Amino acid sequence: MTDRLIALSPTELAEAIDNRIVPATKTALIENGIQFPILRQRHCSAPQRNAGARAGPLVGTVARFTPQKGPFDFVRMVAALAKRIPEVNVVWCGDGELRAEVQSLANDLGVANRLHLLGYRTDVLEVMAATDLFVLTSSGRDCPTRCWMPWRWRSR
């Protein structure tokens, strides 16, 4: 048994208690402490211009190029998506040890012209607000938390 369960959201906390994973007296709620601003407009042209992207849907992610972030799955997803939506463009914000191998796979699969590896960026919020779809291929436990964050950055 555990001494205490720390939930990251009220929903996660309620699920743990409702499913009797741990008694309510042994729980704590610690929500994400970072407050993201809501961007009032989409900055579509900036990341597309910076990436050299053509017009079309923009898909993006923010992650390190490490095994747990699933970069090879991401590139295979880009290849599959490009077959169905030829005008799609994809941006990856981040860097890491597997970048060269990711670029090589993109070349091998014929999608290097639409997969724009942007590297480290200081304008990640703007880039992600410009995406039409945010994709995260991570295999880690933090996936559910990270997936919704970019959409909080966009105004409705």
Condensed to tens digits (0 to 9), the pLDDT of residues 89-124 reads: 999 999 999 999 999 999 999 999 999 999 999 888
pTM comes to 0.65
> Residue range 55-75: average pLDDT?
91
Fold annotation for 45-152: Rossmann fold (3.40.50)
Check: CB of residue 107 under 8 Å from CB of residue 78. no
The domain ranges of the chain are 1-31, 45-152
- Confidence label for 136 from pLDDT (cuts 50, 70 and 90): confident
pLDDT at 154: 47
